Amino acid sequence: MKLRGYQQAAVDAVYDHLRNRNDNPVAVLPTGAGKSLVLAKIASDAVSRWSGRVLILAHVKELLEQNADKVRHLCPEIKVGLYSAGLKKRDTNTPILVAGIQSIYKRACDLDPFDLIVVDEAHLISKKGDGMYRQFLADCKVINPHVRVIGLTATPFRLDSGMICSPDHFLNHVCYEIGIKELIRDGFLCPLISKAGINRADFSGVHVRAGEFVSDEVDRLAGDDALVSAACAEIVEFSSDRRAVLIFATSVAHGQQVVETLAKNHGIECGFVMGQTPAAERDEVLARFRGDECDSLFGREPMRFLCNVNVLTTGFDAPRVDCVVMLRPTMSPGLLYQCVGRGFRLHPNKQNCLVLDFGGNIERHGPIDQIKPKEKQTRTGQLPPAKECERCHTLVACGYANCPECGHPFPPPDRESHEAQASDAGVLSGEVTDTEYDVHDVVYRIHRKRDAEEDAPRCLRADYMIGLDHWQSEFICIEHSGFARRKAEIWWRERCLDPCPENAEEALELADAGLLAAAEAITVRSIAGERYDRIIKYRLSEIPNSALEEAPF
């Protein structure tokens, strides 16, 4: 096996770090980039070139088998052992040992010392507490104080503690990192595209516990029969030209519901795997989904649809996957990345991978090539007991949608950061999505930038209602000069026969008098990775008669 350029660069960066620093490095490579080949090269070099002894740690049997196979292919003269209860292997004295952390974490003292420990999916090492990785690595450090640890991961952060590297951790420094878009550009990963999921649950009211949505509440919403039926119909429509559709469900009951609905309503066979699926059944289902040739399949056709619950997020290699469906929401950016990453791998005749997000996950976390751990939010207390009307300056309770004194509508409240909104955001940064919305209402008001001086120019703000609780705003720079003012004049001429006003009060008065053409629909452009959407097109009603024409003089 010959390493790709970036894989060799990762290996070289690890070696350079080990030679020049007295701590432990992490190499960051996206899912599908070939981390197994990188760790296999490091392990084989450590034994054949430097006479060391190497332990490769992982947490699922699929990764153990992949990593052992890569080392054997790369360096067949080196004996590679396996230690895993799930694989029924108990090797202990080989130069390279590939082990499952669940099987080995209490047995460091039963093994000979290691010079190098390579941890696959290194983000699983907790920075605090007494987890399996921490316990085992601490014991190995006692046995050999000079042992070095190398981490490999696609996501170098944890939801509970941020970046996995720190001076006081087992892993200290990211020595190499390459991004998703670079590998897509260079033809090593499959491009991703996304499409809007229309039939989805509203998870805005779901509570968060221990950093994740409460599963029972999510399941009650996602399991609505009508919603499941509509979502399945949408999945079938969007995936009509796809060869392998991988679905992530919220729970066992929800997954079974999806499988039954696809069979009953669409005549589609959909496989299903969960944690309790017997090993033989699971292996057969996964083989059919991968399209593998297998004697036990008795000539049955490959399976196009596969639904799973918390199983196929890491270590599952199915290059045929060209559609990933997120029917579940998650507060974990790492989990979102792992799920979507199942579609990264290349396969003959696979042009791209379609991501259907019914859980509002991309909006919640942003494009997956820009996912970073968020700083922990501190509670700011309850909402203030009152708010001020911008028109008449009356103080009223926060619950009012309109001022009880003058009728002025208050702007829609900001949505919570974890709330699911539309699901048409780009899955990769820079992806442009244009969506046309019908406008149900529009609210005009005067806007001045926060913390601006009292005499600073103001705008006319328009808030367009384009959903039950979905608004799009724009700002017309009535009181500005130069290019901003010229844009405001063009905007005004398209809607009103009267000249463009010189101040925001007059503009608001004319707007509230109904003298602006109504926006019947707007087209909103979203660019993944950018903070704000913008309106690029309008469908307007006829311009009303002007105030000047209606005047009695």
pTM: 0.69
Pairing state between β 80-84 and 89-90:
antiparallel
- Can you give the pLDDT at residue 393? 46
Token match 């959909």: residue? 270
Portion of the chain with pLDDT greater than 90, in percent: 46
We report the CATH number of the domain holding residue 43 as 3.40.50.300
| Per-residue pLDDT band at 417 (split at 50, 70, 90) | very low
- Can you give the pLDDT at residue 400? 55
C-alpha angle 233-234-238 in degrees, rounded to nearest 5? 120
Q: Please state the φ and ψ torsions of residue 206, each to the nearest 5 degrees.
A: -75, 135
- Can you give the pLDDT at residue 204? 80
- Can you give the pLDDT at residue 228? 94
Among the three residues 350, 371, 392, which one is the final residue of a domain in this structure? Answer: 371
> Both 163 and 36 in a single domain?
yes
Q: Which residue has the higher pLDDT, 113 or 366?
A: 113
- Can you give the pLDDT at residue 423? 44
What's 120-189 look like in SS3? Answer: ECHHHCCCCCCCHHHHHHHHHHHHCCCCEEEEEECCCEECCCEECCCCCCCCCEEEEECCHHHHHHCCCC
Among the three residues 128, 143, 178, which one is the final residue of a domain in this structure? Answer: 178
Portion of the chain with pLDDT greater than 70, in percent: 85
> Both 158 and 241 in a single domain?
no
> Both 253 and 348 in a single domain?
yes
Among the three residues 323, 351, 371, which one is the final residue of a domain in this structure? Answer: 371
Q: Is the pLDDT of residue 461 over 90?
A: yes
What's 464-511 look like in SS3? Answer: EEEECCEEEEEEECCCCCHHHHHHHHHHHHCCCCCCCCCCHHHHHHHH
Contact by Cβ (8 Å): 320, 351: no
As for how many domains the chain has, the answer is 3
- Whether residue 286 is contained in a domain is answered as yes
- Can you give the pLDDT at residue 365? 82
The 8-class DSSP code of residue 524 comes to E
Q: Which residue has the higher pLDDT, 256 or 432?
A: 256
> Both 102 and 232 in a single domain?
no
Least confident window among 6-20, 45-59, 196-210, 514-528? 196-210
Q: How far apart are the first and last CA of the chain?
A: 90
98-102, 268-272, 357-361, 443-447, range with greatest mean pLDDT? 268-272
- Torsion sign, CA atoms 282, 308, 350, 191: negative
| Per-residue pLDDT band at 389 (split at 50, 70, 90) | low
Which domain covers residue 153, as residue numbers?
Answer: 5-178
Select from 34, 169, 165, 45 the least CA-distant residue to 115.
45
> Both 509 and 439 in a single domain?
yes
> Both 173 and 110 in a single domain?
yes
User: If you average pLDDT over every residue of the chain, what do you get?
Assistant: 84
- Whether residue 385 is contained in a domain is answered as no
- Can you give the pLDDT at residue 379? 38
Alpha-carbon distance of 279 to 257, in angstroms, equals 22
The 8-class DSSP code of residue 7 comes to H
- Whether residue 471 is contained in a domain is answered as yes
The CA-atom distances, in angstroms, between 218 and each of 19, 192, 250 are 49, 27, 7
> Both 35 and 140 in a single domain?
yes
Q: Is the pLDDT of residue 29 over 60?
A: yes
> Both 254 and 336 in a single domain?
yes
The residue-averaged pLDDT of 456-467 equals: 88
- Whether residue 416 is contained in a domain is answered as no
- Whether residue 485 is contained in a domain is answered as yes
Does residue 388 sit in helix, strand or coil?
Answer: strand
- Whether residue 198 is contained in a domain is answered as yes
> Both 171 and 285 in a single domain?
no
204-208, 269-273, 311-315, range with greatest mean pLDDT? 269-273
The residue-averaged pLDDT of 209-231 equals: 89
| Per-residue pLDDT band at 364 (split at 50, 70, 90) | confident
- Can you give the pLDDT at residue 549? 52
Got the DSSP string for 236-283? Answer: HHHTTT-S-EEEE-SSHHHHHHHHHHHHHHH---EEEE-TTS-HHHHH
- Can you give the pLDDT at residue 471? 82
Least confident window among 223-232, 269-278, 450-459? 450-459
The residue-averaged pLDDT of 270-290 equals: 91
Q: Is the pLDDT of residue 149 over 90?
A: yes
> Both 530 and 448 in a single domain?
yes
Q: What is the pLDDT of residues 492-532, one digit of tens each?
A: 999 999 999 999 999 999 998 889 999 999 998 887 767 77
- Can you give the pLDDT at residue 376? 45
- Can you give the pLDDT at residue 416? 36
For helices 5-20 and 35-48, angle between their N-to-C axes, nearest 10 degrees: 50
Does residue 104 sit in helix, strand or coil?
Answer: helix
The two three-digit tokens of residue 465, written as one number: 């209602």
- Whether residue 417 is contained in a domain is answered as no
- Whether residue 507 is contained in a domain is answered as yes
> Both 13 and 162 in a single domain?
yes
> Both 452 and 317 in a single domain?
no
Least confident window among 68-82, 157-171, 265-279? 157-171
